[in-house]
Amino acid sequence: MPQRRCAIKDLRKNHTNRMRNMDKKTDLKKALKSFVAAAQSKAADANAQLNLIYKKLDKAVKTNIISKNTAARRKSRLSKLLANPSQAKSA
CATH number, domain at 51? 1.20.58.110
The pLDDT of residue 6 is above 60: yes
Q: How many domains, in total, are found in the chain?
A: 1
Closest CA to 57 of 47, 66, 48: 66
Distance CA 7, CA 55 (A): 35
The pLDDT of residue 49 is above 90: yes
Model pTM score: 0.84
Confidence of residue 89 (pLDDT cuts 50, 70, 90): low
Mean per-residue pLDDT over the chain, rounded: 93
89 part of a folded domain: no
**Helix 68-83 vs helix 5-40: angle between axes, to the nearest 10 degrees?**
20
Contact yes or no for 32/91 (Cβ under 8 A): yes
What's the domain range around 64? 5-83
Contact yes or no for 60/71 (Cβ under 8 A): yes
